[in-house]
Amino acid sequence: MLTSRAILLGRLLQRSVASRSRPVTNQIVRQSHYVSYRVNGPKPNFAVNALAQLAGGLMWWWVLWHLFHEYEHITGEFYYPDPSEWTNAELGIPPDDE
């Protein structure tokens, strides 16, 4: 039994010494995208930056144009009556003498 344990221990030591001398080759390498861990990503080129600025400007023009010309979407289309002019009957309040 001691002989089998000594053989297993010898193989284990041999593998550990051999693994230290050669470089690690079983590392997973992902080449599908740019990895930016704790560093800035790549800078976009001029065309991408210009198109993003143009799209943002177009979006804000659209929003502000429609807010100016179609403000009823926010304020409402119809006149809102003054609540002080409502009568008790319209509000469903019974008369005081009941």
User: What pLDDT score does 58 carry?
Assistant: 98
| 16 lies in some domain | no
Looking at per-residue confidence, does 37 or 74 come out higher? 74
Section 57-78 average pLDDT? 90
| 64 lies in some domain | yes
Rounded distance, CA 91 to CA 98, Å? 16
| 9 lies in some domain | no
Rounded distance, CA 86 to CA 95, Å? 14
> What integer best gives the mean pLDDT of the chain?
83
| 57 lies in some domain | yes
Measured in Å, how far apart are the chain's first and last C-alpha atoms?
106
Question: Residue 66 sits in which domain range?
Answer: 53-91
- Answer whether residue 45 shows pLDDT above 90: yes
Rounded distance, CA 44 to CA 90, Å? 63
User: What pLDDT score does 7 carry?
Assistant: 86
Instruction: Please say whether the dihedral angle defined by the alpha carbons of residues 7, 8, 11 and 16, taken in this order, is positive or negative.
Output: negative
| 46 lies in some domain | no
pTM above 0.85, yes or no: no
| 13 lies in some domain | no
| pLDDT band at 36; cut points 50, 70, 90 | low
Section 57-69 average pLDDT? 95
User: What pLDDT score does 23 carry?
Assistant: 63
Residue 73 and residue 66 in contact, taking contact as beta carbons nearer than 8 Å: yes
